[in-house]
Structures are given as structure tokens and as C-alpha cells.
Amino acid sequence: MNNLFRLDGKVALVTGAAYGIGFAIAEALASAGAKIAFNCREEHHLEKALADYRAKGIEARGYLCDVTDEEQVQAMVAQIREELGAVDILVNNAGIIKRIPMHEMSREEFQQVIDIDLVGPFIVSKAVIPGMIEKGHGKIINICSMMSELGRETVSAYASAKGGLKMLTRNICSEYGEHNIQCNGIGPGYIATPQTAPLRERQADGSRHPFDSFIVAKTPAARWGTPEDLMGPAIFLASEASNFVNGHILYVDGGILAYIGKQP
């Protein structure tokens, strides 16, 4: 049974995996036997990430690449194929968020979020799918969000992108399932990362940050998620254990989407 979850010899490309959720997923896939490739847009981020992977005992390959630039992506995928082999597993993790009220957000700011969070996964998926068809199998995991199901103030661009990514996931399933390519999504809840650390800092009087209290109260698990909470779901969706799971969004949110909240 454990062999169903092994990824020995598989080539996994995890975009934006220099830290946080992407790094944890890459670490998980490596622990199951996969060969790891990842990208960064900045040289200094790339070098730090490579050092962090080495510290974990992972021989990851890093590439300078902007996922919104199709020529750069095609060149990266070709280089990965030459150095490691054709990509078996793609995790579209690279993304940004801009928390700006919609009526104050510029078109350029909205477009940047859409380009990175939605157009980027389209470009990278498009680049790896031919190799997957050639090999007769492939796994694509899109990092979606609860914001593909819920709205919230200040995240109009992010919610639009993640809602689109949910539907791109289902369409890749529909279009390429016959080639033994499974495309699924992971929808993280609120995850404790360096980016969310300010929202969890204790106040001067020792009380929780108001947003921290809000999230814990809305989560049946009564805590924030951790990057490690995404490791098992990622291995499952990348492995043969999920060969008949396609077009599905697996929400890893501690139960938020199932919960109306406590009565005041």
C-alpha cells in the first residue's frame, strides 16, 4: 500500500518554491522520492532557497524564471527535461496577493495578480503537458484557495484569479484526462507562514491580534494551518494513489468552508 504514495524517479516542478507553502510541498515530494525543480524570479532568492534545500538534504535544481513569460517558461521546462527528465509532476504554486479595496485598485494592480496567479499556471501547464502526453501520464496540482469559493473585502483580484484557477483545473482534467493526466487543486486555508506572521503577533497587552482571533474562531480545528499540513495532500495528489481523482479541489482549511461559525 505504501508504494502507492512513492514518487521514486519522478520529476517534480514546483513553481515559487523558495519558501513557505511551495518549499514545504517540494520537501514532501522529495521525501517520497521525487527529483525537485523549482523557479525564482530573483537571483538572491534562488541562492538562499538552494542553500535551504541543501540544509534539508534535498538536491533541488533551481531556475531563474518568471512564470508569466512564456519564452522563459518554455526554456526552463526544456532545461529541466535535459537535466532531470520530462516533468511528471507540476505544482503551480507561484502566486501573489494584493489587499486593496476594489474601488481603490488600479487596473495594473488587478492585472498583475491575474497574470501571476492565473495566467502563470496556464503558461507552465501548457509547457509541460506535451511531455506528459508523450510519457502517458502526468500530475498537475494547482494551489487554489478558499477564495475560489468565498469572497472577502480587499481581495477582488486574488479571488478572481483563484476562482479562474479552479475552473482551469477542471478544464485541464476535462481536456487531458484521456491521456492519463490528472489535474487537481489544493485549497489551503489560513496557513502560518512568514507572510502571515504579523497577523498572529500578540498585542501589547498579551491578547491575540484581532485577525488571529477571527480566524481561530472561524476554524473548527481552532488553529491556523501549517505548511506541513499540506504535505500529505500534495503527496496524495502527486502519486498513483490518486490516479482516478481528477478535477477535484481538496480544501485543506481545518473545516472553515464547512462551518457557519459560533453564535455570538
- The residues assigned a catalytic role are 158
Q: Give the amino acid at 83.
A: E
Give the Cα separation of 246 and 172 in Å (integer).
Answer: 9
The cell numbers describing 51, all together, are 542553500
Sign of CA pseudo-dihedral 39, 45, 49, 50: positive
Query: Taking the mean position of all CA atoms in its chain, how far away is CA 220?
Result: 23
Residues β-bridged to residue 250: 186
With the CA atoms of 213, 217, 218 and 223 taken in that order, what torsion angle do they form, in degrees rounded to the nearest 10?
Answer: 80
CB atoms within 10 A of CB 104: 8
Q: Return all residues near 106 (Cβ < 8 A) that are at least 6 apart.
A: none
Q: Return all residues near 193 (Cβ < 8 A) that are at least 6 apart.
A: 19, 20, 21, 227
Angle between helices 20-31 and 43-55 (to 10 degrees): 40
Give the Cα separation of 257 and 264 in Å (integer).
Answer: 19
